[in-house]
Amino acid sequence: MESKSPPPCPSSVTVRRNPYRKARATPLTNPPQLPSHSTSSSKLPPISSFPIQDILSEEIPQNVPSTVTVTAASPSSSQDTIAENLKVYLRICPLVPLKGSTKNAGDQNPSSRTKNVWPQNPSKKNSVKEKKNSKKKSNESCITVSEDCHSVTLSPPLPLQESKRIKSEIYEGFSHVFSADSTQSEVYEKMVNPLVEDFLRGKSGMLAALGPTGSGKTHTVFGSPREPGMVPLALQRIFKPAPACSSQSSRRFYLSIFEICAERGKAERISDLTSDGQDLSMQQSAIKGLQEVPVHDVAGAEQLIARALLKRSTAMTNANSQSSRSQCIINIRRGTDSSDAETDEQSNSAVLSIVDLAGAEREKRTGNQGTRLAESNFINNTSMVFGLCLRSLLEHQKKPKKALQKHFQNSLLTRYLRDYLEGKKRMTLILTVKPGEEDYLDASYLLRQASPFMKIKFTNLEAQSNFLCNKRQFQTTSRTEQSKRIKVGSRDASLIEGKIAGDENQLHDEEDLRICNAEFKNSRPLNLNSDDLMKMERNHQIMQNFAKALWSVLKQHNEKLKVAESEIQILKENLRNEKTRSIEMEKELNNLRSFCTCSKENSVASTIVKVGENFESMLHLEGHTSCSFDETKPVLNSSNRFKSECSSSPRICDSTPGEDQRNVKVLSPNCNCSPENDDLVRIQRQDMSSQVPCHKTTSNLSGLECIDDKQEPEAMDGFFLLDGQVRSSEADVSSPSICVLNENCQSFQVHESFPGTRNIHEDSSESNYVVVEHLDPKSDVKVSTSGNDSSVSVEPGQQLGEKNEDLLDLLVSPKEVKHTQQQDLTYVPETEIRPDTSCNSSRKEKPKRRLLPASSILVREISILDADEFDKPRGNGVGNKLAASERQRTQGSISLLRLLKSNLHSLV
Ligand SMILES: Nc1ncnc2c1ncn2[C@@H]1O[C@H](COP(=O)(O)OP(=O)(O)OP(=O)(O)O)[C@@H](O)[C@H]1O
């Protein structure tokens, strides 16, 4: 991953790599909260906010020679002080490790391998040779040490030069650069001995080795039995027998060794390596409980160190067979002259600290996974924080900037080394680099982070060619971009160096000036001063960091989007399934509706009885989602020419033609009636919710004709009011009657003929339905709302004289109807007929949808009448109720019932 591989940007501050800097939520950059309904996405780790503030808050010094300048080479007085306390050395690791140094698995010398004794295929031999040559080529060193051994030139490999236009950089200001063939003792003499001498004189100091993994830090610090490192060499010097007159022989020394590592790749942990790996804690800058072991001679000290190193966390990676996974710190404290140990006060003692840091590593090269990868993160973060602090020290800031203060606090290593990193104590830094071409990025990162000065060289030749080729671009692009173009390659750098170094980047060479053409002269002259270059570098860094952070946030969002898309797909699939299901159910419902039929019966008696019984069974089943006729009761069969099937909330529309052509029609909501006889009215009630104009529906009825089809009927919460002139097409019906049903359809009232206009008014205490039937065959019936919706006027028309053998049944919502005493509309208590109380409660919620066919009730009335007359009791409970309803029966209904009964008798 990008975040784990150090980018090759100059002194870059990769915000994301710092574990202690949690991305702050800024108002502008907070990602929008995704809806939490998605289950899988909620499991995803939250997307971190974009660290734009952090990126922009990073300040790259403008006045310091760390990036590009030549003038910075001359140190100021403040630099003198820093220079006193800070020395930076560079050691280049040999490309091919020397014989005997077999620690690095990846860099083993092929020549040291045991040779194959068998004769080899010559062609194979050649190919091996070629391979070797190509390997040699790729193993060219990318670091060249200057003659004075104070600077190095870092040249990018050719592919990088071409593809990314990365140019050579010169790093200078080193106290000394040790080339690849330098020996341990040479390094000790030049670098460590001054520290040790000062230590012996009572001055504290620290040596820290910093560099990428496998670059030779541990080798430099500890060495091998053959090539002892800085620690054993320092110990040898410390315990070197002193002249008799010297007081050093009586001095005591104390040794403490500990490591800072990541606990399960997360929290930092300090372990004492001299004891049994006991965990320690840090108070201020001191480590609490750290054991100090007194040492008297080199052998004792070396033994102690060797034992401690065995406990140090190391692991094999692709880059190093024995890679350090922790920051190891050795403290050698110089005791007092006295032999009394109790008087040895640590605060007054000089301490020589030697630090072997774990090397920054890139995932690509180490191939780390799991715990190793977590360790890598810790190591990289620690070394980055250390590098940042170091950078601020190199830039002569007495105290690191605010942004860095917290790094000191958060990282145990920097907290412990605070005095050194703030320049208060003497520190010697040894940077180790590998010079292979493949190590270019690591080396560049380290050098930009920790080298005292860096130079970027320019060639005016390249600049000219750029300008000449891209004159147009030159005029339009910014100065920053111009500067970018004139960075030079490594081979040119050393040549051009003198040109720039002398005169603040002025193009003063006559040769160069001659080459410039007139166009170039007319254009803005090159301004390659350090300010511009620094600005350019800063912009470059900011943009680079910005791009990286943006990329990472985009990647996270992309992940989230993918998850959301898959969820959307699932939801779409579900929706499709639900739709097909609902279509199927709709079809089923339509089928069931079509099965619910009713037909005219020739035999009035059988119809009445059967319809009555069926309706009774329906009454019983009302309120259920599905119903069927009771098998124990007589079922309407084909001989009766009355078919009725229902599966959900059945309603019956029945027809009872009498001898005198007086029919009773009851229009029931949700009823689909399909009489087989043309004489019967086909009434198809539309779905209540659809609010299809009722008159349109009734206009299709056989026997009924809607005169006024312009006017829309009013849908009244489940029932409708016919508002228009309706006439019957056949005039074979005697005087109309009015049936009044109560709200629960448990009783009704029939009124014979109503001559003239009838105003039916709503009685607030009653909630009945009005059924208008037996229309006068000679006249139209006009049904309309009068004034407002709360009253209905029913009046016979004058013009029509056509035959009408059907009855017009009009149902009016109880709310819309007012019943008046003059019209003999009597309220019948709802409990009279229907004993089912369960329906009552539900009806309170949906009173208008509970309307039951009045015809059934009418039939029941007739049956009761029959029962009364013929003394045929129908059961106690029902009989009682029916008797009660009998008492409530009005004159009109009685006469209608008698009429029907006489029809029945005559038919029978
Ligand atoms: N100057 C040198 N001379 C000879 N061998 C060297 C030199 N520098 C490094 N090596 C060899 O390179 C290998 C890796 O070195 P070392 O373990 O010291 O790297 P490191 O920087 O400590 O790595 P890490 O950070 O992973 O611990 C070792 O085998 C070591 O012997």
Residue whose CA is closest, atom 1 of ligand 1? Answer: 93
In terms of C-beta density within 10 A (0-12 exposed, 13-18 middle, 19 or more buried), how is residue 578 classed?
Answer: exposed
pLDDT of residue 428: 92
Q: Which of 95, 98, 101 to mutate to test the pocket of ligand 1 (most atoms within 8 A of CB)?
A: 101
* 116 SS3 class: coil
Distance between CA 335 and CA 294 in Å, rounded? 9
Does the pLDDT at position 83 exceed 60? yes
Residue whose CA is closest, atom 31 of ligand 1? Answer: 101
Query: pLDDT tens digits, residue range 12-43?
Result: 443 333 334 344 444 443 444 434 444 444 45
Does the pLDDT at position 148 exceed 70? yes
Query: pLDDT tens digits, residue range 772-796?
Result: 433 344 444 433 333 333 333 344 4
Mean pLDDT value across residues 590-617: 56
Mean pLDDT value across residues 701-730: 35
* Residue 502 annotated as lining a ligand binding site: no
Domain boundaries, the chain: 2-30+62-92+147-455, 460-528, 542-592, 652-907
* Pocket lining: 104 vs ligand 1, CB cutoff 6 Å: yes
DSSP type of residue 833: T
Residue of 341, 330, 327, 335 lying closest to 378 (CA atoms): 327
Q: Which of 320, 356, 430 to mutate to test the pocket of ligand 1 (most atoms within 8 A of CB)?
A: 320
DSSP type of residue 732: -
- On whether the CB atoms of residues 220 and 355 are closer than 8 A, the answer is no
The structure tokens 């060639």 sit at 459
Does the pLDDT at position 586 exceed 90? yes
Q: What is the ipTM of this complex?
A: 0.97
Expressed in angstroms and rounded, the spacing between residue 178 Cα and the centre of ligand 1 is 15
User: For the residues of 542-558, what is the DSSP string, one character each?
Assistant: HHHHHHHHHHHHHHHHH
Expressed in angstroms and rounded, the spacing between residue 213 Cα and the centre of ligand 1 is 8
What are the tokens at 159?
């592919």
Q: Which atom of ligand 1 is nearest to the CA of 103?
A: 29
- On whether the CB atoms of residues 327 and 355 are closer than 8 A, the answer is yes
CATH tag, 2-30+62-92+147-455: 3.40.850.10
Residue of 96, 5, 34 lying closest to 557 (CA atoms): 34
**What distance lies between CA 145 and its chain's CA centroid?**
51
Expressed in angstroms and rounded, the spacing between residue 214 Cα and the centre of ligand 1 is 5
Query: pLDDT tens digits, residue range 386-403?
Result: 888 888 787 766 555 666
Does the pLDDT at position 565 exceed 90? yes
Query: pLDDT tens digits, residue range 440-490?
Result: 888 888 888 888 877 765 544 444 444 444 433 433 333 333 333 333 333
Distance between CA 169 and CA 152 in Å, rounded? 8
Expressed in angstroms and rounded, the spacing between residue 823 Cα and the centre of ligand 1 is 115
Query: pLDDT tens digits, residue range 173-208?
Result: 899 999 998 999 999 999 999 999 999 888 899 999
Question: Lowest mean pLDDT: which of 311-315, 610-614, 792-796, 873-877?
Answer: 792-796
DSSP type of residue 875: -
Q: Which atom of ligand 1 is nearest to the CA of 379?
A: 25
* Pocket lining: 61 vs ligand 1, CB cutoff 6 Å: no
* Pocket lining: 218 vs ligand 1, CB cutoff 6 Å: yes
* Pocket lining: 320 vs ligand 1, CB cutoff 6 Å: yes
* Pocket lining: 103 vs ligand 1, CB cutoff 6 Å: yes
* Pocket lining: 217 vs ligand 1, CB cutoff 6 Å: yes
- Bridge partners (DSSP) of residue 655 are 665
pLDDT of residue 168: 82
Mean pLDDT score across all residues of the chain? 60
* Residue 881 annotated as lining a ligand binding site: no
pLDDT of residue 846: 44
Q: Which of 183, 219, 317, 357 to mutate to test the pocket of ligand 1 (most atoms within 8 A of CB)?
A: 219
Mean pLDDT value across residues 665-684: 36
What are the tokens at 711?
């006017």
* Residue 218 annotated as lining a ligand binding site: yes
- On whether the CB atoms of residues 768 and 743 are closer than 8 A, the answer is yes
Expressed in angstroms and rounded, the spacing between residue 195 Cα and the centre of ligand 1 is 23
Query: pLDDT tens digits, residue range 241-263?
Result: 766 655 555 668 899 999 888 87
Expressed in angstroms and rounded, the spacing between residue 354 Cα and the centre of ligand 1 is 17
* Residue 335 annotated as lining a ligand binding site: no
**What distance lies between CA 7 and its chain's CA centroid?**
27
* Pocket lining: 98 vs ligand 1, CB cutoff 6 Å: yes
Distance between CA 208 and CA 430 in Å, rounded? 6
pLDDT of residue 894: 76
Expressed in angstroms and rounded, the spacing between residue 217 Cα and the centre of ligand 1 is 6
Residue of 429, 356, 418, 430 lying closest to 385 (CA atoms): 418
| 410-419, 549-558, 854-863: which is most confident | 549-558
Distance between CA 397 and CA 78 in Å, rounded? 10
Mean pLDDT value across residues 758-768: 38
Largest Cα separation within the chain, whole Å, is 155
Does the pLDDT at position 716 exceed 50? no
Does the pLDDT at position 271 exceed 50? yes
Expressed in angstroms and rounded, the spacing between residue 287 Cα and the centre of ligand 1 is 29
**What distance lies between CA 799 and its chain's CA centroid?**
76
Please list, in sequence order, all residues whose beta carbon lies within 8 angstroms of the beta carbon of residue 387, skipping any fewer than 6 positions away. Answer: 210, 449, 450
